């Protein structure tokens, strides 16, 4: 039987998704459910002086209007050790950002709740907000942590090394606010039953959600159940627990009915996080041959006045290139905004933009090919920790990518290629993202009809987790994929980490592999010990399983099915549970996924209109678990890179600190017309250190590098260096 892992197995949940049978959070049929609508603030800074709810309460079907005056008092709403942000849940009258939740209207129907919300009369006392990346007057400060890393690092003496470098470059790069905008909005259904709380929640972390909500409501964790079998995208925004989850549970307890709360699209701008705006200063010092002597990367980002989150953009500079002197720093300024949060490849997407553009600028200054400059500064081990790479195929990515793209034909000077009215340019950049893995558990159960059921608590956020775990389980037991049923998204199943940091496949996948392998060993043991089995006393290493059949690999036809073995022994099923966790290898190796991206752009010579016309990406991702979903993830990340580079900008009116394009009509994400031919491939060499599956995470890898490749191509096309994202036509005119 051919191995399923690595094949292009179609998504096992695909039919359910395209036919509407897959139940997302708001689709769950809950008896007696009522509807809640969130009301958010019209000002960014000040106080609610009063809320007149009389007209709202007079609407037929309205059951309750919750405000800071009558909301239940809660505890432990501040930022917690699990990375959950501070929650504002109607505990006081203070307004700390625009679009902050200030009331919840609950009614029998959604239409009644909306009408009630519309009729609320709110009186404010407004204060002047303060926003912007202004580090003067002592506003900037060092963050407490940077994604569990130190905020600052130093190796060698950077100031001296820069001063002594024959070639130096220094530039400032900025990135805009970005809002995640998954297709499925944030949603929660909360139901109480005799002190037990069930949450159907659109979340990337059901166990983190359970723990946080239990703490807030003073419950034992086993009194909270979280269900999330399908998530319609999250991109980081559905990782933390946000106010609406707590407010839905509060409202459900208040009216003693199950409550469904679904955010409207404008409410996705603020209350559930966004990528922080950054200002990054990169300084490079080099010898005339391109050898780096110094790297300095400083990141300034915005956070809210009531919480702290750092966009960790200086992290790539710590490890990507060899340099005897290096320094990285992170600083924050407080603004009257909602707390920023994890957005796909947090820090690494924005940080590689600045670093890789700086490397391109240095290459032009030195008259070196950008690939050659990177090859000359290839780090044979992690410069930051001194650890060897678990694997690093970056040089192979350069070689294959350059060949597939035709890099050798690149014009040696910027601004010289034309195709009619279009200026044409080519650019490249490096992709990199850490390889993460956390402790996870899984349960596997083989039934006497030969079917295998796998239970694992992780959630499928659209990346193909159901399919990959099916392949892993089927291979481990030696049965067809059609005989495997994977159950996900319920805290009643074995615990797994959050679906973030591109770690789900390595974490949950390893647990499934271990559980099913243990089950296979038990099935084999029972066959060898059973005098009625054809495999009685056959040496263990001679017993194989294929297509659900145990057989003696030395004797053709000698064997029996797993189903017949269990039926004869009177067992309805056998089960095994496994806990899988990373070991000492995490401290012995530096683990990253790598890639090289190439972009071709066309810029209208008169109008400045920018079109990405071609992209090539080659990635070092370890072992491929499913070539179909792998390609989808890589293409999706590169498309995100187009958005980061050219279109996505959450525009804030600094006078009132309000988002002015809080909808999908004005917040521009790449659509089909913006996405060119995207050619992706991968090396596929297994990484034997990162996990038993030898696979690295890919969900966030491909967004890194893509914006810089596009920006570098725009410089090659026009001769104008734009260092501020997104790059729009006004910046080229």
Residues 342 and 436: their CA atoms lie apart, in Å, by 15
Locate the DSSP E strands across 491-609: 543-546, 549-552, 559-561, 573-580, 592-604
Around Cβ 587, how many Cβ atoms within 10 Å? 9
Element (H, E) at 311: none
Spatial neighbors of 503 by CB under 8 A, at least 6 apart, are 436, 437, 438, 497, 697
Q: How far apart are CA 472 and CA 484, in angstroms?
A: 10
Between CA 186 and CA 262 the distance in angstroms is: 6
Residue 358, CB half-sphere, CA atoms under 13 Å: how many?
Answer: 31
Please tell me the distance from the alpha carbon of residue 234 to that of residue 460, in angstroms, as a whole number.
10
How many other C-beta atoms are found inside a 10 Å radius of the C-beta of residue 174?
Answer: 16
Other C-beta atoms lying within 10 Å of the C-beta of residue 495 = 17
Q: Verify whether residue 311 is a known catalytic residue.
A: no
Strand-strand pairing, 418-419 and 34-40: unpaired
| Annotated catalytic residue within 184, 361, 600, 700 | 700
Instruction: Compute how many other C-beta atoms are within 10 angstroms of the C-beta atom of residue 730.
Output: 7
CB atoms closer than 10 angstroms to residue 119: 18
Closest by CA position to 124, among listed 155, 96, 85: 96
- Quick one: which H or E segment has residue 727? none
Q: 133: which residues sit within 8 A by CB, 6+ positions away? A: 174, 277, 278, 279, 300, 301, 302, 333
CA distance 304 to 310: 10
Give 619's strand partners.
595, 682
Active site residue ranges: 700
């Amino acid at each position: 039987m051919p191995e399923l892992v690595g094949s292009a197995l179609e998504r096992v949940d695909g039919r359910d998704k395209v036919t509407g049978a897959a139940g997302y959070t708001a689709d769950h049929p809950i008896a007696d459910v009522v509807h809640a609508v969130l009301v958010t603030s019209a000002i960014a800074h000040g106080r609610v002086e009063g809320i007149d709810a009389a007209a709202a309460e007079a609407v037929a079907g309205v059951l309750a209007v919750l405000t800071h005056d009558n909301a239940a008092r809660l505890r432990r709403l501040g930022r917690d050790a699990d990375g959950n942000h501070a929650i504002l849940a109607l505990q006081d009258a203070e307004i700390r950002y625009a679009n902050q939740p200030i009331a919840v209207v609950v009614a029998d129907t959604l239409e009644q709740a909306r009408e009630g919300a519309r009729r609320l009369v709110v009186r404010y006392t407004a204060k002047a907000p303060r926003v912007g990346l202004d580090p003067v007057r002592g506003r900037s400060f060092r963050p407490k942590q940077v994604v569990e890393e130190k905020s600052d690092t130093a190796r060698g003496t950077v100031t001296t090394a820069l001063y002594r470098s024959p070639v130096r470059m220094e530039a400032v790069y900025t990135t805009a606010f970005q809002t995640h905008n998954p297709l499925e909005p944030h949603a929660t259904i909360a139901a109480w039953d005799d002190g037990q709380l069930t949450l159907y929640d659109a979340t990337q972390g059901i166990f983190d959600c359970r723990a946080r909500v239990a703490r807030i409501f003073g419950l034992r964790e086993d009194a909270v159940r979280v269900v999330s079998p399908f998530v319609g995208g999250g991109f980081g925004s559905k990782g933390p627990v946000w106010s609406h989850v707590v407010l839905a549970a509060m409202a459900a307890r208040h009216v003693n009915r199950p409550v469904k709360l679904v955010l409207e699209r404008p409410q996705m701008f603020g209350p559930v996080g966004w990528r922080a705006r950054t200002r990054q200063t990169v300084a490079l010092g080099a010898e005339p041959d391109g050898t780096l002597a110094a790297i300095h990367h400083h990141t300034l980002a915005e956070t809210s006045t009531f919480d702290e989150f750092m966009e960790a953009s200086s992290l790539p500079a710590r490890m990507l290139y060899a340099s005897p002197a290096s320094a990285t720093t992170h600083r924050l300024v407080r603004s009257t905004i909602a707390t920023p949060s994890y957005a796909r490849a947090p820090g690494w997407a924005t940080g590689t933009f600045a670093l890789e553009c700086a490397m391109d600028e240095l290459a032009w200054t030195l008259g070196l090919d950008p690939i050659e400059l990177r090859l000359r500064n290839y780090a044979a081990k992690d410069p930051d920790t001194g650890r060897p790479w678990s694997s690093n195929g970056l040089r192979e990515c350069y070689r294959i990518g350059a060949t597939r793209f035709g890099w050798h034909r690149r014009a040696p000077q910027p601004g010289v290629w034309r195709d009619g009215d279009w200026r044409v340019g080519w650019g490249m950049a490096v992709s990199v993202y850490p390889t993460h893995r956390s402790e996870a558990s899984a349960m596997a159960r083989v039934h006497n009809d030969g079917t295998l059921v796998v239970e694992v608590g992780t959630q499928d956020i659209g990346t193909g987790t159901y399919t990959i775990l099916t392949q892993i389980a089927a291979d481990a037991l030696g049965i067809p994929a059609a005989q495997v049923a994977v159950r996900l998204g319920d805290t009643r199943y074995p615990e797994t980490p959050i679906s973030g940091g591109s770690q789900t496949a390595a974490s949950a996948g390893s647990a499934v592999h271990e559980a099913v392998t243990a089950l296979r060993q038990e099935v084999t043991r029972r066959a060898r010990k059973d005098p009625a089995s054809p495999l009685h006393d056959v040496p263990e290493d001679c017993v194989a399983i294929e297509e659900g059949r145990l057989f003696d690999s030395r004797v053709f036809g000698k064997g029996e099915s797993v189903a017949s073995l269990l039926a004869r022994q009177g067992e309805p099923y056998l089960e095994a549970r496994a806990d899988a966790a990373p070991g000492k290898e995490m401290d012995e190796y530096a683990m990253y996924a790598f890639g090289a991206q190439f972009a071709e752009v066309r810029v209208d010579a008169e109008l400045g209109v920018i079109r990405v016309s071609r992209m090539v990406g080659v990635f070092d991702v370890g072992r491929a678990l499913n070539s179909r979903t792998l390609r989808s993830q890589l293409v999706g990340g590169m498309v995100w890179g187009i958005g980061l580079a050219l279109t996505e900008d959450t525009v804030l009116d600094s006078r009132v600190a309000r988002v002015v394009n809080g909808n999908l009509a004005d917040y521009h994400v790449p659509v089909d017309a913006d996405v060119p031919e995207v050619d992706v491939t991968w090396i596929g060499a297994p990484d034997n250190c990162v996990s038993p599956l030898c696979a690295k995470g890919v969900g966030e890898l491909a967004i890194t590098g893509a914006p810089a490749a596009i920006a570098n191509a725009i410089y090659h096309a026009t001769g104008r260096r734009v260092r501020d994202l997104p790059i729009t036509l006004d910046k080229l005119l």
